[in-house]
Amino acid sequence: MKPILIIGGYGTFGSQVASALASRGLPVVVAGRDRRRAEEFARTLGADHRGTSLDLRQRESISAALREQPVVVNCAGPFRHFDPALLEACLDQECHYADIADDRHYCGLVRRFGERFAAKSLAAVYGCSSLPGISGALGLKLQDSRKPRDGSPWACRVTLFIGNDNPKGLAAVSSLVEGLGKPIEAPQGTLRCFHDREVVPLPPPFGRRVVFNFDSPEYDLFPSLLGVRNVRVKVGFELTVGSYIMHLLARFGLNYRAWHAKWITRSGQFLRGWGCAGGAVMTELFSSDGTTSRATMLSHTEGQRMAAWPCVLTAEALAKSQPNRVGACTAYEFLGAEPMLMQMTGAGFELHYSN
């Protein structure tokens, strides 16, 4: 079996994906701008794995790295800054593509490439992470479990909860900070990132948590997927004061500079060891008859591993067989919502339902 190329493979989430695939017997190539770091991390995975250099800012570097690669997994970021160069290279080299993107603009870009990937019998699977991968699978599970007498859903709320002891990657922090206070175009109107405080009821051990608005692909995907006309995506941190700090920055305006994200990332490192390294994704459907149904996937201690697992399952499926679905699609469309959730519970993550 040819190895899977993982771009950003020594980063916060890329290392999770690479380690999981290696543990499942799939060879990987760890790629990044720093060849030394890529090779060092690949050595920790075993003799069947290697590291290489790849700079997404240079088209020649992309083409050279993708040559004769059957599957390319993009775990780099921030995704909002990417142009179509990697997608074009995947088409040229005839590689399947997967990513962990939760950036709305980039996911839309992948969808626009869907017909071109389908024409070459290639899959481009985007959003293979908490948002929208896990949240979408949970929403479809709720929809399938609804009884005929239940009122039709009119609204959906998605919550991403992040434990404090999870490592904070610079790309993820940069993506968050850049969006603070920016407008979010939702089906029901314009929202603002990290405005509109709400309290959500997460299952134990997390309980009730303060959350704020977040921009994510669900605003584009869920109206047709779940038949709702109101979509809210929320994010909250275990350290509640951290959520409020982001809220204040969003309310009073932040003239974003790159050093802001670096400072926040470094500050977060000083707080490591407090709280948990768990996390949760919850999808709620609010019905016209006043009822609410909830589905939550959570991990007490491995929140980032949980977030990476849809990408692990997608990359493994692409590497082992010709995909049944080609073109652009989400992880829950590619894997199937029910099989994906079953494989995640089999990997040790908890699935909770409530009505």
Task: Identify whether residues 204 and 243 lie together within a single domain.
Answer: yes
Give pLDDT, residue 252.
83
Task: Identify whether residues 291 and 320 lie together within a single domain.
Answer: no
Give pLDDT, residue 53.
92
Give pLDDT, residue 55.
86
The CATH number of residue 106's host domain is: 3.40.50.720
Distances (CA, A) of 242 to 8, 175, 178, 196, 210: 27, 16, 16, 15, 11
Give pLDDT, residue 60.
85
Distance of alpha carbon 134 from alpha carbon 341, whole angstroms: 8
Give pLDDT, residue 122.
97
The answer to whether residue 346 sits within a structural domain is: no
Q: For 141-182, how does the pLDDT look when each residue is reduced to its tens digit (9 = 90+)?
A: 999 887 655 668 899 999 999 998 877 666 667 777 788 899
205 — pLDDT class (breaks 50, 70, 90): very high
Task: Identify whether residues 109 and 210 lie together within a single domain.
Answer: no
Task: Identify whether residues 160 and 121 lie together within a single domain.
Answer: no
Burial (CB < 10 A; 0-12, 13-18, 19+), residue 203, is: middle
Tell me the Ramachandran region of residue 34: left when phi exceeds 0, alpha when psi lies from -120 to 50, beta otherwise.
beta
Mean pLDDT of 270-275: 63
Give pLDDT, residue 261.
53
The answer to whether residue 354 sits within a structural domain is: no
The CATH number of residue 227's host domain is: 3.30.360.10
Task: Identify whether residues 77 and 157 lie together within a single domain.
Answer: no
The one-letter code for the residue type at 69 is Q
Distance of alpha carbon 320 from alpha carbon 123, whole angstroms: 13
Mean pLDDT of 307-332: 95
**What end-to-end distance do the CA atoms of the chain give, in Å?**
45
259 — pLDDT class (breaks 50, 70, 90): very low
Task: Identify whether residues 328 and 279 lie together within a single domain.
Answer: no
Task: Identify whether residues 259 and 243 lie together within a single domain.
Answer: yes
273 — pLDDT class (breaks 50, 70, 90): low
Task: Identify whether residues 177 and 55 lie together within a single domain.
Answer: no
177-198 burial by CB neighbour count: b if 16+ within 10 A, else e?
bbbbbeebebeeeebbbbeeee
Task: Identify whether residues 121 and 187 lie together within a single domain.
Answer: no
Task: Identify whether residues 149 and 293 lie together within a single domain.
Answer: yes
Mean pLDDT of 280-285: 98
Domain around 103: 4-129+307-337
Give pLDDT, residue 84.
94
270 — pLDDT class (breaks 50, 70, 90): low
Question: Residue 53's beta-bridge partner residues?
Answer: 32
Nearest to 268 by CA among 130, 194, 165: 165
Helices marked H in the chain — which ranges? 14-23, 35-45, 59-66, 85-93, 104-112, 114-119, 135-145, 170-179, 218-226, 240-252, 258-270, 303-320, 331-335, 337-346
pTM given for the model: 0.93
